[in-house]
């Protein structure tokens, strides 16, 4: 068959997009390995394998061209996001199950590539944190990078983790605010504890910086637009600023919020998932701002290690509505719309 015009096409492909996303994760990943050890690489491998296996099985069952879709790289991106949001020393089956859930249930049962209304990685995270809250909050201590101990933690039958785990900065802050005596303030805790590093938690801040660099590169590569990261970070920072100005004793400041937990990953890699996110420019701003607001609320008042996953899923729900009401004006129709507004 001979196709119709246009006969020229840019050599862009879904695979190219996905590979660039993976490449953009590398700086953050490097910092991750440096501060938290190589266990994350094992998790990445496990999750990627699970994702590809799950993808292959689902494509075969749904009678889709297996190689075409398997090679598009979207499953691997999902796998990496699962691995990067999970504790690196989680038992091996956790990441695999989570990835399979993301691929099989959240992606394929909703129709496969391009059809899932929810972010698969975040849905998997929510499932696991509800199912295994204990395991999901066991993070290795910063600087504890002994690989064999970590391997034992991942694969070993008995997991004596107390020695190597440590509360994440977010957790630590919250726990101490709740448990310590009434005189404890955010400033005091952040300044005094070895967990908190310079701005966003020791080690964590460097990983976040890595994600930031990769994310900015993605924007420059036109894989993502500036709207979501900017709106997300700006909103998060704005709320944090207002809150910490109102009561500096209880609320952490903007820099801490932006550089800790999964905030940076969310800003550039999770909220920007095009399939489940808003698509119009204004819609993207609203969508990302919504995630930031919910993230802050859940982080501050909730009991979970981080709020990005729930926040993302909640905003995923609102996407159709947001998109519907934020359609950009079409060429030549800008005036009509103004007139419409002026009219009765």
Partner 1 sequence: MMLKKLFAFNGGVKPDYHKGESNHLPIAAAPLPAELVIPLHQSIGGVPHPLVHAGDCVRKGQLIGGPDGNVSSAVHASTSGTVKAVEPRLMPHTSGLSAPCVVIEPDGRDEWIEHAPVPWRSMSPGEVRDALRDAGVVGLGGAVFPSHLKVNPGKLGHLDTLVINGAECEPFITCDDMQMRERPEGIVKGAAILRDLTQAKQVLVGIEDNKPEAVAAMRAAVERLKAERIEIVAVPTRYPAGGAKQLIRVLTGIEVPHGKRSTDYGVQCFNTGTAYAVWEALELGRPLISRIVTVAGNVETARNYEVHFGTPMQDVIALAKAKPDSDRVIMGGPMMGYRMPSAAVPVVKATNCILVGSKALFPPPPPEMPCIRCGECALACPVDLQPFEMYWFSRAKIFGKAQEYHLFDCIECGCCAYVCPSRIPLVDYYRFAKSEIWARENEKTAADTARERYEFRLAREEREKAEKAAKLAAKATETKAKLAAQAAAAAAAPADAEAAGAAVPPEPTSTATNDPKALIAAAMARAQAQKAVVHPENVEQISPEKQAEIAEIEARRAKLREVAKAAQPQEDQ
Partner 2 sequence: MIEAVLVMALGAVVLGAALGYAAVRFKVEGDPLVEKIDAILPQTQCGQCGYPGCKPYAQAIAKGEAEINCCPPGGEEGIRKLADLLGREFKPLSAEHGVEKPKRVAFIDEQTCIGCTLCIQACPVDAIVGAAKQMHTIVAVQCTGCELCLPPCPVDCISMVPISETVETWKWTYPIFEVKRAA
Vertex 215, ends 209 and 217: CA angle to 5°? 110
Residue 127 engages partner 1 in binding (rule: CB under 8 A): no
Neighbours of 161 (CB within 10 A): 17
Task: Select the residue interacting with partner 2 from 130, 163, 187, 249 (CB under 8 A).
Answer: 130
CA 271/CA 284 separation, integer angstroms: 9
Smallest distance, partner 2 to C-beta of residue 318, A: 7
Residue 304, binding choice from partner 1, partner 2, none, Cβ under 5 to 8 Å by partner class: partner 2
Task: Select the residue interacting with partner 1 from 60, 61, 115, 338 (CB under 8 A).
Answer: 115
Residue 113 engages partner 2 in binding (rule: CB under 8 A): no
Residue 156 engages partner 2 in binding (rule: CB under 8 A): no
Residue 182, binding choice from partner 1, partner 2, none, Cβ under 5 to 8 Å by partner class: none
Smallest distance, partner 2 to C-beta of residue 1, A: 4
Smallest distance, partner 1 to C-beta of residue 275, A: 5
Considering only residues 3 to 62 of the shown chain, the ones binding partner 1 according to CB under 8 A are: 3-10, 12-14, 16-17
Residue 139 backbone phi and psi in degrees, to 5 = -105, 145
Task: Select the residue interacting with partner 2 from 56, 57, 297, 326 (CB under 8 A).
Answer: 297
Q: Quick one: 25 or 292, whose CB is closer to partner 2?
A: 292
Q: How many residues bind partner 1 (CB under 8 A)?
A: 43
Smallest distance, partner 2 to C-beta of residue 69, A: 16
Q: Which stretch binds partner 2 (CB under 8 A): 33-41, 111-119, 137-145, 299-307?
A: 299-307
Residue 298 engages partner 2 in binding (rule: CB under 8 A): yes
Q: Which stretch binds partner 1 (CB under 8 A): 28-36, 113-121, 161-169, 289-297?
A: 113-121
Q: Which residues bind partner 1 (CB under 8 A)?
A: 1-10, 12-14, 16-17, 65, 68-69, 72, 74, 112-115, 222-223, 225, 274-275, 277, 279-280, 323, 327-336
Q: Which residues bind partner 2 (CB under 8 A)?
A: 1, 130, 294, 297-298, 301-304, 310, 314, 317-318, 321
């Amino acid at each position: 068959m001979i196709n119709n015009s246009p006969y020229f096409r840019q050599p862009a492909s879904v695979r190219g997009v996905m590979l660039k996303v993976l490449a953009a994760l590398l700086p953050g990943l490097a910092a991750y390995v440096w501060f938290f050890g190589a266990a994350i690489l094992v998790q990445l491998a496990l999750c990627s394998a699970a994702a590809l296996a799950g993808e292959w099985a689902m494509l075969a069952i749904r009678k889709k061209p297996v190689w075409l879709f398997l090679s598009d790289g979207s499953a691997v991106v999902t796998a990496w996001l699962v691995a990067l949001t999970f504790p690196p020393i989680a038992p091996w089956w956790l990441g695999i199950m989570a990835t399979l859930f993301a691929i099989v249930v959240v992606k394929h049962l909703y129709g496969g590539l391009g059809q899932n209304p929810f972010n698969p990685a975040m849905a998997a995270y929510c499932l696991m944190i509800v199912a295994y809250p204990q395991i999901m909050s066991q993070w290795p201590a910063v600087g504890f990078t002994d690989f064999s101990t970590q391997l034992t933690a991942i694969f070993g039958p008995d997991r004596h983790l107390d020695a190597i785990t440590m509360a994440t900065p977010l957790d630590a802050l919250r726990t101490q605010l709740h448990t310590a005596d009434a005189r404890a303030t955010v400033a005091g805790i952040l300044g005094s504890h070895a967990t908190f590093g310079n701005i966003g938690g020791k080690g964590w801040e460097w990983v976040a910086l890595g994600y930031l660099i990769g994310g900015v590169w993605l924007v420059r590569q036109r894989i993502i637009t500036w709207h979501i990261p900017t709106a997300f970070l700006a909103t998060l920072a704005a709320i944090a600023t207002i809150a910490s100005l109102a009561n500096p004793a209880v609320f952490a400041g903007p820099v801490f919020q932006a550089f800790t937990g999964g905030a940076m990953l969310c800003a550039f890699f999770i909220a920007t998932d095009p399939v489940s996110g808003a698509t119009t420019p204004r819609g993207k701003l609203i969508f990302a701002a919504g995630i930031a607001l919910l993230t802050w609320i859940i982080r501050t008042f909730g009991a979970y290690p981080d709020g990005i996953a729930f926040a993302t899923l909640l905003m995923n729900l609102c996407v159709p509505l947001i998109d519907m009401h934020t359609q950009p004006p079409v060429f030549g129709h800008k005036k009509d719309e103004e007139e419409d507004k002026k009219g009765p």
